[in-house]
Structure 1
Amino acid sequence: MKNPRLCEIDHHHSLPCDRLEEIIPMPVRDTLNTSERALWRAVRNLLEGWISADNDDDPDGTEWWPLGPHGAAPSRVPYTSESQLDQIRNECRRLLLENEFAINAQENRISYVVGTGHRYRVISRASQHTPENLLRAAQTVLDEFLRENRWHRRQQEIMLRLDRDGEVFLRYFASDDGLLRVRFVDPEQVRTPSRYATRPEHSFGIVTDPHDVETVRGYWVDEKFVAGSDIQHRRANVDSHIKRGLPLFYPVRKNLRRAEKLLRNMSVVAGLQSAVALIRKHAGGRSSVERFLADREAQSALPTSHAGPTSVEHFAPGTILDATAGIEYEFPVAAIDAARYVTLLQAELRAIASRLVMPEFMLTSDASNANYASTLVAEGPAVKMFQRLQQEMIEADREVLERALRTAAEHGRLPKNVLEALTIEAIPPSLCVRDRLREAQADAILFRCGALSREQLALRHGLPVPNPHVEPPSGEEP
């Protein structure tokens, strides 16, 4: 006959699950006897090794990876279900809430990729003669969109979400006045309803063409279908045919946890060692200890409570101790070798910085072993990486801004064919160490050659865009 306390868990038959606590509730676990607890621990270890490929106890670092479709090849992502993706996302979210190194790396990526914000301007397409009033009207719509949606702040959150969750969902809402508003959709809201769970084209909450996974038809948001044209989905760290993104810190999550634990243990050990001022060694045995205690009776102070007498001995800064015969003094603080552990910590942080393609000082805020001017040069790997991220953000942002112009055109604020005559130019903040004089001289040459306009020069240097109808004074350069 089955144990009635164990029968309560029989209905939890669908595996794998995210947490074993979902299989055996706490009230049931509390009523198990010793043998039942041992059995439960054995089953837990077996299931955790099967459910999760993240095994910190594996000595050689090898992991079991899920198979891809038809079991032919390993999957390109470490998840095969929405629940596993949720687990990975929550793990990386926790890092960005608690791990100081992950937070610092994330803030620096936002500072360099987004910076003070990208500048956007409506310009004519090549070989197009666009009326000036249309340019002004389109720029007004664009500025209104940026202001209403607080786009600079939203850019920062887009970068945060993209790194933290591996993806960003932006949903479009058009108002009656032709203004487009953009709102975030949390990744956990995009899930496949149970009635479509067996249909591959509906997997992971994204509905695609049955024969082309890159053609998105719509999304399941809170079990409601939303057309694909009403949502922009930005993904990171996965191939183009993978429906959902992967968090940035997933490959180095173990390194971040180890670095945090190592720093904590270093602080705790150093705190314990430094809390002990000195240790007396009594070489004369019991008689030496008794003689020492007898000498200290005169230093006993009366207690302020009823707990009994308290021995008090004060050492002022710079005190010189005279040890009597048979007593030795040791100072454990002198044996602390923090540099040995700092080297190990730096090795872990370098591994993390390598994944992020960032200089070590951007992760640790320690500039003692790096030079800012030599790191952020035009051909440096960090600059190349930040420029690539900036370009990816510009392309995605331009898609949103063009949607804003189309929305205004649909409501009569702009001509229907506005995007046939106009395009949007974006200029991100500069990344390299700047020499303003050389930049100005180079820009002046480009301006004289006709490669740059006055408006482009103003955007590059963060200046107000001049009126194109007002010519600069004769003999002067802008």
Structure 2
Amino acid sequence: MNQRETTSTALESALAEAIASLWDGYVDPREAFQGDDGLYWAGVGGGAGLSGAAAPGLATLREECRRLALANEFAINGHENRISYVVGAGHVYRATIRKGIDAPFDLATDTQQVIDRFLATNAWHDRQQEIVRRVDRDGEAFLRFFTSPAGDTLVRFVEPEAVAAPVAASTDPRASHGVQTEAHDVESVVGYWINGELVDAADVQHRKANVDRNVKRGLPLYTPVRTNLRRAEKLLRNMSVVAEVQSAIALIRKHRSASRTGVEQFVASGATATQTARGGATRRVTEYGPGTILDAPAGLEYDFPATGIDAGAYVAILQAELRAIAARLVMPEFMFTSDASNANFASTMVAEGPAVKMFERLQSTMIEQDRAVLSRVIDTAVAAGRLSPDVHAAVEVQVTAPSLSVRNPLEETRVNEVAYRNGVLSAQTWSQRLGLDYDQEQQNRLYHTRPHS
């Protein structure tokens, strides 16, 4: 090898070492946004050039969580429990005259009739449940409002994937993710691009979750724990399959010194019956009655695989995974796992408990959003001439959600009775706390007390 070749080889070696050292010290800035499943977190901000159609990460994430909500038993349980506690038997809506306002009570009665008609026309109780499911599953729910020829407000859902900026507006940062906003204020929404049509923001209510207010689209509830849910499902499946296989084998006879032919002859001589399995193979069956004692000749051992099943070790791992998911939901573990063996309902659903506080927050958010819907319903009725234009100034809508904390019914009744007797509590509010319609109950009382022919 000449001098030039030697020098070239040395330079190549030094360069390779330098590159290797640089590579070992390289940090990919995207690693902070990568989950343990190898997938990157989806960007959902309102950056320039990002439209709903051009952000497949969010669509993929939503599709993952939809599959969990459809097929993962633990995810389904979490969704259903949140619906049960946030919506329950349904919220109670009552129109009443605002305090300090001198207005005829008929105005509140007329408004209540409009609200009751809206609730019935839109099957609002069922729709409330679906709203919670959609917000948790998809991270958002779009409600679009229409007006019927009779002046009724109709509510229809818009699928999240239908909200996307058209190609012509794909480079406009104001239209990113299909949400059209003011140029320098992402919270001031002008409209929504639905199937290529810009719909005025007044005709759409966008309920989003798990993101900041200046983020245009929401994130599904199970975004940070979707890998845990998949692992929990696989672990349970594998535990069941292994246990099924092990328990299906009654015993294993170990012939230490016998040949294959000798083993086959031993099995044939000890068989009490034969069966023809699928495919034509002959299967020899030996029956062991209760209390059977086995005498093993020299070189023969009996092994019972079922005694080696240690399901407890796997259950502990499964519970750890489920506990992590329940922590994300701010739920007691038993609400998510349906395992009440190590929980006390009365101690977890007290007024100061974290689960109660979380559900109260969710109820409060839903109440405000529902009030916004009912405000639009009243506006539509005013425009149709069914209500007086003074209704907004004179009437307010009170919303009562189901009670969450564990209560002593008798003690609560005594407290309400004392408050009512001293003029602190009205009969209408008392009825709301009981989940009753005050006007309907008065009608029932009148019907019950008047004479019948």
Which secondary structure state, in structure 2, belongs to the residue aligned with residue 214 of structure 1? strand
Alpha carbons of structure 1 residues 285 and 246: separation in structure 2 relative to 1, 3 Å: same
Structure 2 partner of 1:293: 265
Cα-to-partner distance string for 1:234-273 (whole Å, 9 max, x where unaligned): 1101001111001010011111111111111111111111
Give the whole-Å Cα distance in 2 for the aligned partners of 1:428 and 1:70.
Answer: 38
Give the whole-Å Cα distance in 1 for the aligned partners of 2:405 and 2:281.
Answer: 70
Give the whole-Å Cα distance in 2 for the aligned partners of 1:67 and 1:427.
Answer: 34
Cα-to-partner distance string for 1:254-297 (whole Å, 9 max, x where unaligned): 1111111111111111111111110111133439x727725733
Structure 2 partner of 1:446: 419
Cα offset, 1:200, TM superposition = 0.4
Alpha carbons of structure 1 residues 328 and 399: separation in structure 2 relative to 1, 3 Å: same
Q: Does the CA contact (< 8 Å) of 1:122 and 1:424 recur in 2?
A: yes
Structure 1 partner of 2:326: 353
Question: Which one is further off, 444-453 or 222-231?
Answer: 444-453
**Which runs of 5 or more structure 1 residues have no equivalent in the other structure?**
1-48, 72-76, 473-478
Q: Does the CA contact (< 8 Å) of 2:35 and 2:41 recur in 1?
A: no
Q: Does the CA contact (< 8 Å) of 1:300 and 1:310 recur in 2?
A: no
TM value normalised by structure 2: 0.84
Cα offset, 1:162, TM superposition = 0.4
Trace 1:96-107 onto structure 2 (pairs within 5 A): 96-107=69-80
Cα-to-partner distance string for 1:94-153 (whole Å, 9 max, x where unaligned): 111111111001100000000000000001112112212211111111100001111100
Give the whole-Å Cα distance in 1 for the aligned partners of 2:325 and 2:386.
Answer: 50
Trace 1:103-118 onto structure 2 (pairs within 5 A): 103-118=76-91
The structure whose RCO (Cα within 8 Å, separation 6+) is larger is 2
Alpha carbons of structure 1 residues 457 and 63: separation in structure 2 relative to 1, 3 Å: same
Structure 2 partner of 1:433: 406
Question: Which one is further off, 275-284 or 397-406?
Answer: 275-284
> Residue 85 of structure 1 aligns to which amino acid in structure 2?
L
Alpha carbons of structure 1 residues 145 and 274: separation in structure 2 relative to 1, 3 Å: same
Q: Does 1:156 find its partner at 2:129?
A: yes
Q: Does 1:411 find its partner at 2:384?
A: yes
**Which runs of 5 or more structure 2 residues have no equivalent in the other structure?**
1-28, 446-453
Trace 1:13-162 onto structure 2 (pairs within 5 A): 53-56=33-36, 81-162=54-135
Give the whole-Å Cα distance in 2 for the aligned partners of 1:186 and 1:68.
Answer: 19
Trace 1:223-372 onto structure 2 (pairs within 5 A): 223-286=196-259, 290=262, 293-294=265-266, 296-297=268-269, 299=271, 307=280, 310-372=283-345
Cα offset, 1:317, TM superposition = 4.6
Alpha carbons of structure 1 residues 317 and 160: separation in structure 2 relative to 1, 3 Å: farther
Q: Does the CA contact (< 8 Å) of 2:45 and 2:216 recur in 1?
A: no
Alpha carbons of structure 1 residues 310 and 468: separation in structure 2 relative to 1, 3 Å: closer
Question: Which one is further off, 79-88 or 385-394?
Answer: 79-88
Q: Does the CA contact (< 8 Å) of 1:427 and 1:459 recur in 2?
A: yes
Q: Does the CA contact (< 8 Å) of 1:409 and 1:415 recur in 2?
A: yes
Which secondary structure state, in structure 2, belongs to the residue aligned with residue 251 of structure 1? helix
Structure 2 partner of 1:29: none
> Residue 309 of structure 2 aligns to which amino acid in structure 1?
I
Q: Does 1:378 find its partner at 2:351?
A: yes
Q: Does 1:173 find its partner at 2:146?
A: yes
TM value normalised by structure 1: 0.80
Q: Does the CA contact (< 8 Å) of 2:253 and 2:302 recur in 1?
A: yes
Cα offset, 1:444, TM superposition = 1.8
Runs of at least 4 residues off by over 6 Å: 49-52, 62-71, 302-306, 467-470
Q: Does 1:191 find its partner at 2:164?
A: yes
> Residue 138 of structure 1 aligns to which amino acid in structure 2?
T
Give the whole-Å Cα distance in 2 for the aligned partners of 1:426 and 1:69.
Answer: 34
Give the root-mean-square deviation of aligned CA atoms: 3.1
Q: Does the CA contact (< 8 Å) of 2:275 and 2:282 recur in 1?
A: yes
Q: Does the CA contact (< 8 Å) of 2:43 and 2:57 recur in 1?
A: no
Which secondary structure state, in structure 1, belongs to the residue aligned with residue 262 of structure 2? helix
Q: Does the CA contact (< 8 Å) of 1:301 and 1:309 recur in 2?
A: no
Cα-to-partner distance string for 1:415-457 (whole Å, 9 max, x where unaligned): 1121111010000011111210111111123223433210110
Cα offset, 1:300, TM superposition = 6.9
> Residue 269 of structure 2 aligns to which amino acid in structure 1?
E
Cα offset, 1:388, TM superposition = 0.5
Which secondary structure state, in structure 1, belongs to the residue aligned with residue 223 of structure 2? coil
Give the whole-Å Cα distance in 1 for the aligned partners of 2:267 and 2:218.
Answer: 73
Structure 2 partner of 1:212: 185
Cα offset, 1:310, TM superposition = 4.7
Alpha carbons of structure 1 residues 280 and 395: separation in structure 2 relative to 1, 3 Å: same
Give the whole-Å Cα distance in 2 for the aligned partners of 1:186 and 1:367.
Answer: 37
Identity, % of aligned positions:
52
Cα offset, 1:399, TM superposition = 0.6
Alpha carbons of structure 1 residues 154 and 313: separation in structure 2 relative to 1, 3 Å: same
> Residue 406 of structure 2 aligns to which amino acid in structure 1?
V
Cα offset, 1:326, TM superposition = 2.5
Alignment length, in residue pairs? 414
Give the whole-Å Cα distance in 1 for the aligned partners of 2:441 and 2:296.
Answer: 88
Alpha carbons of structure 1 residues 291 and 270: separation in structure 2 relative to 1, 3 Å: closer
Cα-to-partner distance string for 1:288-329 (whole Å, 9 max, x where unaligned): x72772573374757779957653322345433232333110
Decide which of 360, 370, 373 is 1:397's aligned counterpart: 370
Alpha carbons of structure 1 residues 200 and 294: separation in structure 2 relative to 1, 3 Å: closer
Structure 2 partner of 1:13: none
Give the whole-Å Cα distance in 1 for the aligned partners of 2:281 and 2:201.
Answer: 78
Which secondary structure state, in structure 1, belongs to the residue aligned with residue 108 of structure 2? helix
